[in-house]
């Protein structure tokens, strides 16, 4: 097998909001890159020997007391550098250019601006002479460092791009990584291929071949056990490990009875029919329900579900699979060191697997640890996982437990599963699910009066939640057409016993969260 060498570009993180987007764009150009904090030492960078460096944007002014700075030596390593926004200003400031701090709003630019490019610059020479660029800055570069030339400007910004081709140093004040910048990806591609001389070896088929080889070598003839949740990441990790070591892999699927209708069976069927592995399903709805009896406070419910889940999981592993390797579906964004402060805990998420000390594995295997979610999905499709599973919406660890307000009982789980199944069916039928990032039914535990036939009813209310979002940090409530909502409501009331009213949640995040608990 001819596996190409891994080439690397480093994205140095100065705290900007688009950092992961930059890295994803670079990877879309088939170049492997990693995000490292701006505090990474020069020695470390030399050791990694990247083909290029990209400085990200950041919220600061170079003149702020605590703004991130960088050692001038980085520009003397002979490694090409592209500075973006703050990264461009920092390049100008650290070399001998002049960054002018905004004193009023006349030099600020936020949003779209027309940029005029110097036709012979390597970043722009294949592009039209002008184009829309996405700007977001207060300070601006008023004088480029010696040896640099101005390679783009806007009506407001005298230096929208600058370059010093002799030293392979480039900077853009705008954001080429966002879709609003016309030809932004082409500019990044030009930097990667024409300046850094990358070859473009980062392709998912290479990734699969290489990872399968590495996994075989590492695992040898030992066993490996993986916690499979049915989510995208653990499913793709399972498929990859199955390709590498077949029956040496055991997937443990803990079904706490809080999944969507028929989902547990679907996961079991997929993995037992399509993949070579040992599949172990632990059904434990009754244990979960007995632990959850009488508990209605959201954080307390989350705590019980999380603790119980890991107890059942580790007990099973301790009993039967406590040797060999332990695998998990960690992906790249789970482990990027952001250097930003901790956000306040709004909800406890139960995704970090804490391993009990008494189980001594040979080691931990994380075959997807370098991939972004979109790459994980491509790998999943290539490995033959069903489309529905690869493009599955996020589903919270505590499952329907956070969509049943108040106490969780078997009857309430069943009722919500039925309502949710009708909603999903209707959305699939009309094709509207593609417009939504996430949608589901909630059982608020509110009873209202209705009339069905000629009789009074006093029954449950179902709420529909549907959002659109890029990153789930913020989200908009989805503007689902009334006809579709009408059909969903009609079907739920007719098909799900004990529901006599359906409402639609029109709260964005913030102030709401996506889940109700």
DSSP letter assigned to residue 168 = T
Nearest residue (CB) to ligand XMP, 248 versus 438: 438
Whole-number minimum distance, CB 473 to ligand XMP, in Å?
8
Whole-number minimum distance, CB 515 to ligand XMP, in Å?
3
Q: How many Å separate Cα 167 from the centre of its chain? A: 35
Q: Active-site residue among 33, 85, 196, 198?
A: 85
Name residue 112's beta-bridge partners: 134
| Active-site residue flag, 29 | no
Backbone Cα Rg of the chain:
26
Residue 188 to residue 194: CA distance in whole angstroms: 10
Instruction: Kindly list the residues in this chain that would bind ligand XMP in the complex (CB under 6 A).
Output: 347, 349-351, 394, 396-398, 438, 472, 509, 513-515
Burial of 411-434, coded b for 16+ CB within 10 Å and e otherwise, reads ebbebbbbbbbbbbebbeeeebbe
Nearest residue (CB) to ligand XMP, 369 versus 509: 509
Nearest residue (CB) to ligand XMP, 176 versus 227: 227
| Active-site residue flag, 307 | no
Residue 10 to residue 473: CA distance in whole angstroms: 25
Nearest residue (CB) to ligand XMP, 63 versus 472: 472
Q: Which of 147-152's residues contact partners 24+ apart within 8 Å by CB, and which partners?
A: 148/92, 148/95, 148/97, 149/118, 150/118, 151/117, 151/118, 151/121, 151/123, 151/124, 152/115, 152/116, 152/117, 152/118, 152/121, 152/124
Residue 382 to residue 405: CA distance in whole angstroms: 39
| Active-site residue flag, 182 | no
Q: Active-site residue among 29, 109, 137, 177?
A: 177
Q: Active-site residue among 109, 175, 251, 426?
A: 175
Q: How many Cβ atoms from other residues are within 10 Å of residue 320's Cβ?
A: 13
Whole-number minimum distance, CB 396 to ligand XMP, in Å?
3
Q: Which residue has the tokens 């008023």?
A: 142
Whole-number minimum distance, CB 282 to ligand XMP, in Å?
19
Nearest residue (CB) to ligand XMP, 202 versus 439: 439
Pairing of strands 161-164, 149-153: antiparallel
Residues in contact with 150: Cβ distance below 8 Å, sequence separation at least 6, in sequence order: 118, 144, 158, 159, 161, 162
Measured CA to CA in angstroms, residue 37 lies from 42, 168, 339 at distances of: 12, 22, 7
Active site residue ranges = 85, 175, 177
């Amino acid at each position: 097998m001819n596996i190409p060498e891994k080439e690397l570009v480093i994205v140095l993180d100065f705290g900007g909001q688009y950092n992961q987007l930059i890295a994803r764009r670079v990877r879309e150009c088939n170049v492997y890159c990693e995000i490292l904090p701006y505090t990474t030492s020069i020695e470390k960078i030399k050791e990694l020997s990247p083909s290029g460096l990209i400085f990200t944007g950041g919220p600061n002014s170079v003149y702020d007391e605590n703004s991130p700075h960088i050692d001038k030596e980085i520009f003397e390593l002979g490694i090409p550098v592209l500075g973006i926004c703050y990264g461009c200003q920092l390049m100008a400031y650290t070399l001998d250019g002049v960054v002018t701090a905004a004193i009023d709003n006349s030099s600020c630019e936020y949003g779209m601006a027309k940029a005029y490019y110097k036709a012979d610059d390597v970043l722009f020479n294949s592009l039209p002479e002008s184009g829309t660029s996405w700007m977001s800055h207060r300070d601006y570069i008023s004088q480029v460092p010696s040896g640099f030339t101005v390679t783009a400007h806007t009506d407001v910004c005298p230096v929208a791009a600058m370059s010093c081709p002799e030293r392979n140093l480039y900077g853009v004040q705008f954001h080429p990584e966002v879709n609003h910048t016309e030809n932004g990806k082409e500019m990044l591609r030009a930097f990667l291929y024409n300046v850094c001389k990358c070859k473009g070896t980062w392709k998912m088929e290479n990734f699969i071949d290489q990872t399968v080889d590495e996994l075989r070598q590492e695992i040898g003839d030992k066993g490996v056990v993986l916690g499979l949740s049915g989510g995208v990441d653990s499913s793709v990790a399972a498929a990859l490990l199955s390709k590498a070591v077949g029956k040496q892999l055991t997937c443990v699927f803990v079904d706490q009875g809080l999944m969507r209708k028929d989902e547990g069976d679907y996961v079991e069927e997929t993995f037992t029919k399509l993949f070579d592995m040992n599949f172990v399903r632990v059904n434990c709805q009754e244990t979960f329900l007995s632990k959850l009896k009488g508990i209605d406070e959201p954080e307390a419910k989350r705590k019980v579900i999380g603790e119980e889940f890991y107890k059942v999981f580790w007990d099973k592993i301790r009993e039967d699979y406590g040797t060999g390797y332990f695998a998990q579906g960690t992906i790249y964004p789970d482990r990027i060191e952001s250097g930003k402060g901790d956000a306040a805990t709004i909800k406890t998420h139960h995704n970090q697997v804490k391993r009990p000390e008494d189980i001594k594995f040979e080691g931990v295997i994380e075959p997807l640890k370098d991939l972004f979610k979109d790459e994980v999905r491509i790998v999943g499709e290539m490995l033959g996982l069903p489309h529905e599973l690869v493009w599955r919406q996020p589903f919270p660890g505590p499952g329907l437990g956070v969509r049943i307000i108040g106490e969780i009982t078997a009857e309430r789980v069943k009722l919500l599963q039925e309502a949710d199944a009708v909603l999903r069916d209707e959305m699939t039928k009309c094709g509207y699910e593609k417009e939504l990032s996430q949608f589901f039914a909630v059982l608020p535990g509110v009873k209202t009066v209705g009339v069905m036939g000629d009789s009074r009813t006093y029954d449950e209310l179902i709420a529909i939640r549907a959002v659109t979002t890029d990153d789930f940090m913020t989200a908009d409530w989805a503007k689902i057409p009334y006809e579709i909502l009408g059909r969903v409501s009609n079907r739920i009331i007719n098909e799900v016993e004990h529901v006599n009213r359906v409402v639609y949640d029109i709260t964005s995040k913030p102030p709401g969260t996506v889940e109700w608990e």
